[in-house]
Amino acid sequence: MMKVYLDNAATTPIDKEVIDVMMPILQDGFGNPSSIHSFGRVSRSIVEKARKNVAKHLNCTPGEIFFTSGGTEADNMAIRCGMVDLGINHAITSRIEHHAVGHTLEDMATKGLIKLSYVDLDDKGNVVLSHLEELLKSNNRSFVSLMHANNEIGNLLDIKAVGEMCQSFDAIFHSDTVQTMAHYNFDLQELPIHFLTGAAHKFHGPKGNGFLYINADITIKPFISGGGQERNMRAGTENVYGIAGLSKAMDVSYRDLEEHRAHIEMLKQYMIKGLKDAIPGVEFNGESDSLENSLYTVLNVLFPQTEIGEMLFYNLDIMGIASSGGSACSSGSNLGSHVLRAIGSDMSRPSLRFSFSKYNTIEEIDYTINQLKSLLS
């Protein structure tokens, strides 16, 4: 039986080049970066070199990069500290954000800390920019949080256009860029944005490591207290080997970006055509079947009604194929996808997300399509 991993939007395999960088630090680089002796100084040097490297790839200053435990912490830090410390009490988001954003804002609204507005989406799940402008016009200074690419349906947002709109209304703009970081280029000298986020395990780095970009024009207080790490912005001893792995993973991703993007786009197009040919009535959720309007690593498939229904995912798993019924961060919740509900997808039909990486092959896609055809015929 072939083993096929098509859940790369949940997490990716660690690149061997990344492991090779991390292993010597795991073995010998045990010094605390806050210690001023030689062991600590070695670790401090690793962390700061990584910070400079991330900043180089994003065309920002090292002082604007703060290492975190991942994208969820980075989103929470941006939203909670960004709103409270900047004195903003109105937020604008969408109903299809990752829970790291959606639940955080809902929690603040429930506690009466903020007023929360939702921007309209079209029938494909795209943000209606004219409605965003109306919300910005009709409220006090706002905090806008809209993701660059949706983790379930892959819809891409024009964050430059949103950033410019926010700029014109003196709004603060945060974007969850976890799915696009190191898969797309970012130029933070040109992009009008205050906060963006990254998580190493989404681009073949280690889990438990991420970062938050904070534009130097704004100042917030720490989200986690108890130490002076990250220039007094994030208490807790740094994960030195993980930070080094994040930096190397970013190097590899941007070095090979065009080659790997072409390979993954080819796989996605191949799977779209193969599914259409093999399964009558198959459709695609959101913009995921559009290479131009969606994240090239994600394909969200709406299958015809079938007796096996929700068991389709489990049947594929038994056949060695890993996919996702929604966000992996909420697996086992049995609530169904909040994203698919929000865009009006037919919830009586099974939907699966297939997400690709540089390691996937045509043979794996053929095997997956053949197994789906046999299950649904």
Domain boundaries, the chain: 4-13+257-376, 16-255
Q: Which helix (H) or strand (E) holds 82?
A: helix 82-85
Cα 57 from Cα 221, distance rounded (Å): 26
Q: What value, to the nearest 5°, has the Cα angle with vertex 294 and ends 291 and 297?
A: 80
Q: How far apart are the first and last CA of the chain?
A: 20
The confidence band for 335, taking pLDDT boundaries of 50, 70 and 90, is: low
> What six digits make up the tokens of 350?
């099974």
Cα 113 from Cα 368, distance rounded (Å): 47
Strands 298-302 and 283-284: antiparallel
Cα 262 from Cα 264, distance rounded (Å): 6
The backbone torsions φ and ψ at residue 121, rounded to the nearest 5 degrees and listed phi first, read -120, 150
Task: Report the pLDDT value the prediction gives residue 212, as an integer from 0 to 100.
Answer: 98
pLDDT 10s digits, 188-232: 999 999 999 999 999 999 999 999 999 999 999 999 999 999 999
Look up the pTM and report it: 0.95
CATH tag for 4-13+257-376 (out of 3.30.565.10, 3.90.1150.10, 2.40.50.100, 3.40.50.970)? 3.90.1150.10
Length of the chain: 377
pLDDT 10s digits, 27-84: 999 999 999 999 999 999 999 999 999 999 999 999 999 999 999 999 999 999 999 9
Q: Which amino acid is at 317?
A: D
The confidence band for 327, taking pLDDT boundaries of 50, 70 and 90, is: very low
Strand partners, 66: 212
Residues 13, 204 contacting (CB under 8 angstroms): yes
Q: How many CA atoms lie within 13 A of 139 on its CB side?
A: 24
Is residue 334 pLDDT above 60, yes or no? Answer: no
Maximum pairwise Cα distance, the chain: 67
Arithmetic mean of pLDDT, 156-175? 98
Architecture of the domain made up of 16-255:
3-Layer(aba) Sandwich (3.40)
Strand partners, 197: 212
Cα 172 from Cα 193, distance rounded (Å): 8
Identify the CA nearest to 144 among candidates 174, 102, 114, 112: 174
Exactly one of 60, 81, 166, 329 is catalytic; which is it? 329
166 is catalytic: no
> What six digits make up the tokens of 259?
């080659």
Task: Report the pLDDT value the prediction gives residue 325, as an integer from 0 to 100.
Answer: 85
Q: What single DSSP character describes residue 149?
A: B
Cα 62 from Cα 226, distance rounded (Å): 23
DSSP string, 271-310: HHHHHHHHSTT-EESTTTT-TTTB-TTEEEEEPPP-TTTT
Q: How far is CA 288 from CA 122, 149, 285, 309, 353, in A?
A: 14, 11, 6, 21, 9
Topology match between the domains 4-13+257-376 and 16-255: no
